Amino acid sequence: MGKSPEYRGEMFESLFTPRGVAVIGASLNPTKLGYGVARNLVVSGYQGELYFVNPRGGVLFERELYPHVGAVPDPLDLAIIIIPAGSVPAALEACGKRGVVYVIVGSGGFREVGPEGAALEQRCLEIARKYRIRVLGPNCIGFLDTHLPIDTTFLPLPGPTQGDIGFVSHSGAVCEAVIDWARGQGFGLSRLVSMGNQMDLSESDLLPAVAMDAHTRVVAMYLEGVVDGAHFIEQARQVTCEKPVIAIKVGVSEAGRAAVASHTGALAGQDKAYDAAFRKAGVIRARHSEEMFNWAQALAWCPLPKGDRVAILTNAGGPGAIASDAIAANELTLAALSKETVRELKSLLPPTVSIRNPIDLLAGGGPKEYAECLGALVKDDMVDAVIVILVPPPMSTAAEVAGAIIPLIHSTSKPVVVTLMGQDLIEHAARMLRQARIPDYRFPERAASAMRVLMQRAAHLQTVEETPQPVSGIDPDRAGEKLKHAEVGEGGFIEAGVAAEIVQSYGIHCVTEVLAPTVEDAQKAAREFGFPLALKITSPDIPHKSDIGGVMLNVQDSEQLNNDFETLVERARTATPEAKIEGVIVEPMIEEGQEVILGVVRDQQFGPLVMFGSGGVEVEALKDVAFELAPLRCFEAERMLEKTWAGERLKGYRNLPPADREAVIDALLRIGQLALDLPDVMEVEINPLRVLPEGKGAVALDVRLRKRTQEKG
């Protein structure tokens, strides 16, 4: 499959708003899918021209069946093919000759069934390209638009209600479940698209096509993968500048990943790459379907907050406590109310009511108390958002409370979400809130989670304009030449000294070192550096020196140097008899500091994935690491530090003075740029990077680099 053409705003107009639609395979048999497609188009109220094609003839829904697509009159922009897979190529050929621009292939029996089906799919793609037809599917259920309206699917009726949430899915079955669930939950959809096998049109094409719809306020996606990682990020970043996107990525597994020899490669699984890609694109990642649509409702219906300070208004202490914990768990802040608000609340409520946040109205809280207190909270400049919790009150109804607070929620520019706890007694109130486009949840944890996503969206819009900072003082040509001529050892790793030279070409300071093939060479280096020294075995076939005891530190004199040199060589020969031993690296001991790890691994789908975290030999056990995709923006590098204990510790901890965080951020930007500039670099790892006290920089003590080999492609 080739990369789809770059998206342009009007590119899919004839697909989503066709002037005429033909159903090839329309059936008179109510048990056939071709009947279902015809029925749904009629029932949806589609106002364009509608043609049904079946060589057997007859009349379906008061329309005469045409014998073939060539007999269908104008206008005809879209054909829906719902016939056995083996007959699809001929139908596509006929559509091409007829001049059809878009085709939906709903038929199954292609790549999903094995090699024979894959060959059939490839044949269809070749026909489509021959006639410049754009194809949705095969093995999909098509799309629907509740506002046009049009429904090209064969799903059971009734379909979704009109709404403002778009949905793009690799799975047709998930589409069917979402439609039914959405009706039950009281929210509507704008556009829904099933992608199927993505023979031609992919998620990168269809995401902006759904988002551009004027009725769509937020797009939800169910993804099993992406066709082109870089293209997806490019398109999604454009979309998320305008509208929020939430995605579920399923099918993530480490099974089958090639064994890797570096810590970075071992820790950078496929799931980490998708996390980083979504962050880069501004896509919010959900872990399950209910969460995705809970968030979608909040993003579609709520204004964005200006900060993370949340007030809780409740009529029960327990739910208020749960909400407080959920606020903390979602990295939000429980708002400290202003003195003016506290005074106003005291004047409104009995003295037994707690005025501290959460504000607990107790069981006697009714419509008047909820409305007055919510009014006070949304006026408070110390409050950015409000969660209203309502357990069915004993002296009034939940619906009466909902009716009292809806006007206030509509009048404020701050987000307010409601937790209606219960089932039967809150059903009327829930319907009222949904009709008023106010998100309601059954439990405080869900409300807090939705509030966090609103904060996340607001934060994304504040950083969306930041571009990657140019990296200065680099020499890509020198680094490229060094890499080109470097010999590779076991696993594709090159000699450590050459790896250090390549990294230094990108302005990352490495410890001065000398390769000593013999002990005499080591003594000569010692006279140049002075004691104490560090010694490291060097071999392209030994990627982890410490695993074989291949490092000696604090070598104090010539006699110890002789002994340690021989010990290192003997250990290497014993542990890996076939290894090519190039000698011992001699380095001066470096000033004390904090040690971290920096790395890059080239993800097959998304490109260079940069890692930062706790360094040393236990990096995989600690798993205190963070990943971002290159090129890094400054705030992304800073975020990597903020997400890890290693980064927090750089600020100073107990007896550790603050270290040079800016030097680490600079090194992260540089190592990411290195991987972007040198596509034959598959992995780079600096472990450890010794971070010196503030203002003194950082030094790479050990550098490993894996080069692309012909065998690894």
Longest dimension (CA), the chain: 101
Report the DSSP pairing between strands 189-194 and 143-145: antiparallel
Task: Write out 119-178 in H/E/C secondary structure.
Answer: HHHHHHHHHHHHHCCEEECCCCCCEEECCCCEECCCCCCCCCCEEEEEEEECCHHHHHHH
Q: Can you list the alpha helix ranges (DSSP code H) found in 412-552?
A: 427-435, 444-463, 476-485, 496-504, 519-529
> Has residue 634 got a pLDDT over 80?
yes
Q: Which domain-ending residue is among 573, 588, 603? A: 588
Q: At a CB cut-off of 8 Å and minimum separation 6, what does 503 contact?
A: 510, 671, 674, 684, 686, 700, 703, 705
CA distance 379 to 465: 31
Question: So what's the pLDDT on residue 618?
Answer: 63
Structure tokens at 544: 């982890």
In degrees, to the nearest 5, what angle opens at C-alpha 552 toward C-alphas 548 and 557?
150
* Claim to verify: residue 561 and residue 656 sit in the same structural domain: no
Closest C-alpha to 565, from 532, 527, 534: 534
Structure tokens at 535: 């010694």
State the pLDDT confidence band at 8, using cuts at 50, 70 and 90: very low
In a domain, 77, yes or no: yes
Q: At a CB cut-off of 8 Å and minimum separation 6, what does 443 contact?
A: 322, 419, 421
**Is the preceding peptide bond at 532 cis, omega within 30 degrees of 0?**
yes
Q: Phi and psi for 488 in degrees, rounded to 5? A: -105, 150
Question: So what's the pLDDT on residue 252?
Answer: 62
Closest C-alpha to 147, from 212, 218, 194, 215: 215
Instruction: With H, G, I as helix, E, B as strand and everything else as coil, classify residue 694.
Output: coil
pLDDT tens-digit series, residues 314-364: 999 999 999 999 999 999 999 999 999 999 999 999 988 888 999 999 988
pLDDT tens-digit series, residues 427-486: 999 999 999 999 999 999 999 999 999 999 999 998 876 777 788 999 999 999 999 999
pTM: 0.88
Spell 473-485 as b/e; 16+ CB within 10 A means b: ebeeeebbebbee
Across 227-248, average pLDDT:
95
Cβ atoms of 316 and 360 closer than 8 Å: yes
* Claim to verify: residue 578 and residue 683 sit in the same structural domain: no
Q: At a CB cut-off of 8 Å and minimum separation 6, what does 447 contact?
A: 323, 326, 387, 389, 417, 418, 419, 439, 441
* Claim to verify: residue 216 and residue 347 sit in the same structural domain: no
In a domain, 343, yes or no: yes
* Claim to verify: residue 246 and residue 126 sit in the same structural domain: yes
Q: Phi and psi for 466 in degrees, rounded to 5? A: -70, 130
Place of tokens 């450590």: 496
Task: Write out 387-426 in H/E/C secondary structure.
Answer: EEEECCCCCCCHHHHHHHHHHHHHHCCCCEEEEECCCHHH
Place of tokens 């208004």: 313
* Claim to verify: residue 520 and residue 495 sit in the same structural domain: yes
pLDDT tens-digit series, residues 52-87: 999 999 999 999 999 999 999 999 999 999 999 999
* Claim to verify: residue 643 and residue 605 sit in the same structural domain: yes
In a domain, 574, yes or no: yes
Taking the CB of residue 153, how many other CB atoms lie within 10 A of it? 28
Q: Which domain-ending residue is among 521, 556, 588? A: 588
Cβ atoms of 195 and 206 closer than 8 Å: yes
In degrees, to the nearest 5, what angle opens at C-alpha 624 toward C-alphas 495 and 264?
25
DSSP string, 25-85: T--S-TTSHHHHHHHHHHHHT--SEEEEE-TT--EETTEEEESSGGGPPSP--EEEE-S-G
* Claim to verify: residue 384 and residue 516 sit in the same structural domain: no
State the pLDDT confidence band at 260, using cuts at 50, 70 and 90: very low
Spell 360-383 as b/e; 16+ CB within 10 A means b: bbbeebbbebbbbbbbbbbebebb
In a domain, 429, yes or no: yes
* Claim to verify: residue 605 and residue 694 sit in the same structural domain: yes
* Claim to verify: residue 456 and residue 316 sit in the same structural domain: yes
Q: For residues 297 and 491, which has the higher predicted lDDT (pLDDT)?
A: 297
In a domain, 687, yes or no: yes
Lowest mean pLDDT among 224-233, 316-325, 464-473, 505-514: 464-473
Residue-range definition of the domain harbouring residue 685: 594-707
Q: Which domain-ending residue is among 396, 428, 463? A: 463
* Claim to verify: residue 50 and residue 175 sit in the same structural domain: yes
Q: What is the CATH number of the domain that holds 91?
A: 3.40.50.720
Per-chain mean pLDDT for the chain = 91
pLDDT tens-digit series, residues 541-589: 887 788 899 999 999 999 999 999 999 999 999 988 888 888 999 988 8
For the chain, the C-alpha Rg in angstroms (whole number) is 31
Place of tokens 């054909």: 79
Lowest mean pLDDT among 8-12, 32-36, 411-415, 486-490: 8-12
Q: At a CB cut-off of 8 Å and minimum separation 6, what does 245 contact?
A: 207, 211, 218, 219, 220, 221, 236, 239, 281, 282, 283, 284
Q: At a CB cut-off of 8 Å and minimum separation 6, what does 506 contact?
A: 471, 474, 475, 476, 479, 670, 671, 673, 674
Question: So what's the pLDDT on residue 711?
Answer: 52
* Claim to verify: residue 122 and residue 234 sit in the same structural domain: yes
Instruction: With H, G, I as helix, E, B as strand and everything else as coil, classify residue 266.
Output: helix
User: Residue 5 burial (CB < 10 Å; 0-12/13-18/19+)?
Assistant: exposed
Closest C-alpha to 665, from 473, 500, 504, 469: 469
Across 657-664, average pLDDT:
95
Question: So what's the pLDDT on residue 580?
Answer: 87
CA distance 382 to 77: 55
**Is the preceding peptide bond at 351 cis, omega within 30 degrees of 0?**
no
In a domain, 310, yes or no: yes
Q: What is the CATH number of the domain that holds 577?
A: 3.30.1490.20
| Overall size of the chain counted in residues | 713
User: Residue 688 burial (CB < 10 Å; 0-12/13-18/19+)?
Assistant: buried
Query: Domain count of the chain?
Result: 4
Q: What is the CATH number of the domain that holds 323?
A: 3.40.50.261
* Claim to verify: residue 229 and residue 337 sit in the same structural domain: no
In a domain, 267, yes or no: no
State the pLDDT confidence band at 183, using cuts at 50, 70 and 90: confident
In a domain, 4, yes or no: no
